[in-house]
Amino acid sequence: MPTPSENTLFGMGNPLLDISAVVDKDFLDKFGLKLNDQILAEEHHKALFEEIVQKNKVEYHAGGSTQNSVKIAQWMIQEPHKVATFFGCIGTDRFGEILKKKAEEAHVDAHYYEQNEEPTGTCAACITGDNRSLVANLAAANCYKKEKHLDLDSNWELVKKAKVYYIAGFFLTVSPESILKVAKHASENNKIFCMNLSAPFISQFFKEPLMKVMPYVDILFGNETEAATFAKELGFETDDIAEIAKKAQNLPKENTKRQRMVVFTQGKDDTVATVGEKVTRFPVLDIDQNDIVDTNGAGDAFVGGFLSSLVKEHAVEECIRAGHYSANVIIRRVGCTFPEKPDFQ
């Protein structure tokens, strides 16, 4: 199997600093949050960010869905360093410096667009038991500009070096034109473009940009809730996850040399994936409920593990096995963090 070289994997998304704290149901109710939801912060959530940092055990971790995934992919690959490239926008502030330092420690080749109009984005991860509710205040992440960053020759050269591309659906709210430019490049050069449904609100409120990118998507990721919302928005008229996967696979596609693959995770239940014409179920690794510390980042970690095998050109079964392994590691820890080295054979 080929060893991936530097910049083989390209990710672009919202770099956020995760602020995680254990909260109670009253806290969720106060700010109108649902268990296991992901939303964008609105005006009435401003106080939430002030309140959560007052909690007794606050942890700060480099986050942002796509950044998490490429970081986990790099961790699974280990050597060489900088197989993963990441683009996104941060502020010129302390949180931005933390994100730069954390990317460097993870050996990810991060090229941030830095601006000083907005502060670095944050994401409040409100943990209750083994559930988490995420509220993202994009701030700087929302300021990514295609013409000021992606279009620069030195940056576009890094895009061209890649063979596998991954962008979470969350970035559709920021720069759909950047996503399309990368997706079209992948499609025209028969490279692999992967995307994630990311959250129910993406299919609900950003369906138009999502469906503009869909013809270029070679691998579509999502979880069971996102899959159900996507199916509803597209009028699939089924809530059977295998059928949804099949229908998503058969949506129009530009590059016909590659059949689209759809991969839906379902927490502790089997992961469902289209393998050729069939839909196959892959059981996840067993874990004792008591060992689950924090499910925040489990989906990102699954994708990261999957991508680490994909850049090595492994078969889909192997990619899913790697995804299950990394998700299993991450849910035993707070935030999307990992031990020094993976123990994956």
Residues classed as catalytic: 300
d(CA 77, CA 10): 14
Helix ranges (DSSP H) in the chain: 25-30, 46-52, 65-77, 94-105, 153-161, 176-188, 200-205, 207-213, 224-233, 241-249, 298-310, 316-330
- Among 66, 313, 250, 275, smallest CA distance to 165 is for 66
d(CA 164, CA 192): 5
DSSP 239-273: --HHHHHHHHHTS--S-TTS--EEEEEETTEEEEE
d(CA 233, CA 345): 40
**Number of other CB atoms surrounding residue 64 within 10 Å:** 31
**Number of other CB atoms surrounding residue 37 within 10 Å:** 17
d(CA 11, CA 276): 26
| 222 phi, psi to nearest 5 deg | 180, 170
d(CA 139, CA 156): 24
- Among 85, 87, 83, smallest CA distance to 75 is for 83
d(CA 340, CA 333): 13
**Number of other CB atoms surrounding residue 105 within 10 Å:** 10
Structure tokens at 222: 């999502």
d(CA 171, CA 65): 9
The 3-state DSSP class for residue 326 equals: helix
